[in-house]
Chain A
């Protein structure tokens, strides 16, 4: 599906504003829990976010939550985007949050950047996910991330 971007410039401006204060661009790592090397969803999300001015870290496919947490710490990202082809997020979210908590790095935001069934979204928020990509609306997604980071960092 073609991504819907209507207020690209507006988002870019707020990303620039964030980068000015933080000293670097918002950095998101897209974790690929699927089992396909060329996951089209991830490619799309990565390019759209990079176009909005994010620094996007790509991960090898088929990672475990332990690898993903370690990579997120090594790269010192602001946000981890979870992407799973089958849409099974619950256990990943719980495990990843536990893993981050064990390093005392709960300030790293967890977002869902892959396809998710609408009736699961509420549950994700309850588990501790900060933003969910709904209806491929990337502006809302990016704005959600930025406002989340605003409270965490400043």
Chain B
């Protein structure tokens, strides 16, 4: 018989008159219950160390077109650790001769405009035509917790299964402008690995995602119907940099509205100076779901842009400018690293910080002091690690 006991609320003197008895509860071992007697300690999963790769491994693997090496190289490039920086620079330097041959297309738009879905449709089409497509998709990192949720691949279900497609989602890591700090280098790695079409998808934010313009040839702005009036398009920002404006979701009930929106954008675009010389920025419609309009956009607009650009030299001119702007963005990054990793700055940083917080030191004087400390820095090992180009 099951064990039972008298409930504690039974009055003591009436003990015998109460017939009520209570069964004991389940003592652990029951699924989902805290304190279950299942052994939860880690048992056997063997620890396998991550393999180390040298510069040669990276370079050879990428030239061979090995996906796994490419993906690990991108990790290396994106790394913030000082130890990775030097070797990443070497990898890039040795791969530079293999880059520059691809079609670089940047895609931006507001969140939910359908950028990822558009890439899914376009990428599949390109893969069928025999292209090798690399997609760099950036999603925002939290400014509060620094974590991120990378969801672009959920929209690229069939494209991610294609053998000829490589999709790499990356967190923006707090960089403004809609891309990661290292998007350009990532793009170059993909080119070296033999991908002939690179699609760069920015964070979906809207009016200032302009960094991508400085690293792609063709810049596509994806919009949807019902997103503001003419004034939104006239504002300085994305619109004046776009080589084509694409009204997505032109299907079903939305088709008529998309046509109206297209006409509106076309009207604004007549007033804007076009982003590329000798090229007229126009508005087009497409549907990523049905695929309507996408082949036409690629073959008749984007391909025409490239053939025309190669003929009249606008493209090579653009790439030269982009290389220059890359130089200066790298200079800025090196200076940033040199300052923040300088041993003499690090040594006095804490004290200056507390002084400023307590109000003993005005911020302007603190800046002077920090810069003075930085000027005292001796050229040491730290420079070789942080900035291999700065060795005197």
Using CB atoms and an 8 Å cutoff, list the residues of chain A in contact with chain B. Answer: 12, 15-16, 19-25, 46-47, 49-61, 67, 70-71, 73-76, 103-107, 110, 117-119, 121-122, 125-126, 128-132, 134-135, 144, 151-153
Interface contact B67-A74, CB-CB below 8 Å: yes
Within 8 A of A (CB), among B157-175: 157, 160-161, 166-169, 171
Within 8 A of A (CB), among B15-42: 31-34, 36, 38-42
* Cβ 8 A contact of B39, one of A59, A117, A122: A122
Chain A CB within 8 A of B150 CB: yes
18 cross-chain CB contacts under 8 A? A20-B81, A21-B81, A22-B81, A24-B79, A47-B149, A53-B145, A53-B146, A54-B147, A55-B141, A55-B171, A76-B71, A76-B75, A106-B48, A107-B51, A125-B42, A128-B45, A130-B42, A153-B50
Q: List the B side residues contacting A104 at CB < 8 Å.
A: 51
CB distance from A131 to the nearest CB of B (A): 8
Chain A CB within 8 A of B93 CB: no
Interface centre among B68, B72, B74 (most CB of A within 10 A): B68
Q: A24-B75, A107-B51, A118-B31 are in contact. Are A74 and B168 (CB under 8 A)?
A: yes
Interface contact B72-A107, CB-CB below 8 Å: no
CB distance from B241 to the nearest CB of A (A): 29
Chain A CB within 8 A of B270 CB: no
CB distance from A149 to the nearest CB of B (A): 9
Distance, CA A25 to CA B148, complexed state (A): 9
Interface centre among B83, B151, B167, B168 (most CB of A within 10 A): B151
* Cβ 8 A contact of A152, one of B48, B80, B166: B48
Q: A59-B153, A126-B44, A129-B45 are in contact. Are A50 and B145 (CB under 8 A)?
A: yes
Chain A CB within 8 A of B84 CB: yes
Interface centre among B32, B33, B74 (most CB of A within 10 A): B32
Distance, CA A74 to CA B186, complexed state (A): 13
Distance, CA A135 to CA B47, complexed state (A): 25
CB distance from B144 to the nearest CB of A (A): 8
* Cβ 8 A contact of B48, one of A53, A74, A107, A126: A107
Interface contact B34-A75, CB-CB below 8 Å: no
Q: List the A side residues contacting B154 at CB < 8 Å.
A: 58-61
Q: List the A side residues contacting B49 at CB < 8 Å.
A: 107, 152-153
Interface contact A23-B84, CB-CB below 8 Å: yes
Q: Closest 6 A-B residue pairs measured CB to CB? A: A23-B79, A23-B81, A50-B147, A107-B50, A125-B43, A60-B157
Chain A CB within 8 A of B78 CB: yes
* Cβ 8 A contact of B167, one of A74, A105, A130: A74
Interface contact B148-A67, CB-CB below 8 Å: no
Q: List the B side residues contacting A57 at CB < 8 Å.
A: 150, 153, 169
